[in-house]
Amino acid sequence: MPISQYYSEENNKLTFTRQQASDFAKKIADDFNPLHDIAAKRFCVPGDLLFSVILTKYGISEHMDFTFTGMVTDEVILDFPAETKQLLLAGENGKEYLNISRDGRNSKNEQVVNALINNYVAFSGHTFPHILIPLLKKTGSMINPKRPMVMYQSMLIDLYHLDITEIELEFDDQKTTVETEGKRANVCLAFNLKSANEIIGRGEKRMLVSGLVPFDQEAIDAIISDYSQWKRDYKKD
């Protein structure tokens, strides 16, 4: 995946325009979260784009743990950190946005890096509505259609070894969990990493969903319909 067009790097500084971030969300991740719309008041750069940039820059480690601590906007200028086991992506404003813990062997094999990026982003971008809505329905709740708020909190990847030339991702619904507390839900999406039909690792994507309301099938049908229409309208342009 040629992601260099979705960010700018100069003098070890990293920036994103709204157009770059929004294009990545829609064209690459197939993610139409309103937070990534160019005109969004609370616009933020997709976490999956930050993940992709980090892997492109620093490669894949056997253990990687990403924790998102702030929302990156088009006004933020990030400093690329020196390559160590603990990476901190912070802005010139002194604010921290992403912590990455890495351990084990590291590989910068472009084929493997791109395979992991492509498969993870495709899976992550389809979280809504394909995975998240059915999970919340089991708890009797749903996203508030008037103010949908889904925040990417963290993700981890554990690879058992790096002696691979390809990576595929498989959703693990048995280990996926949803914990609700009032109007909030903590969602952990589990997945397996495979190569040549062999499981060679595992991972988790954790999200916070806030402003939950009681499940309403008619309302959720309208949300899905609107979401699908946004995608169709975008692809027509």
Given this model, what pLDDT does residue 32 score? 85
210 CB contacts (<8 Å, ≥6 apart)? 149, 151, 183, 184
Q: Which domains does the chain have, with CATH numbers?
A: 3-236 (3.10.129)
* Predicted TM-score of the model (pTM): 0.92
Q: Which residue has the higher pLDDT, 232 or 186?
A: 186
pLDDT category at 237 given cuts 50, 70, 90 is low
Q: What is the mean pLDDT of the chain?
A: 92
Q: Rounded CA gap, 233 and 228, in Å?
A: 9
pLDDT category at 61 given cuts 50, 70, 90 is very high
Quick: pLDDT tens for 73-93: 999 999 999 999 999 999 999
Q: Rounded CA gap, 50 and 68, in Å?
A: 10
Given this model, what pLDDT does residue 1 score? 58
Q: Which residue has the higher pLDDT, 141 or 226?
A: 141
Angle at 159 between CA 158 and CA 165, to 5 degrees: 145
Quick: pLDDT tens for 158-176: 999 999 888 999 999 999 9
pLDDT category at 71 given cuts 50, 70, 90 is very high
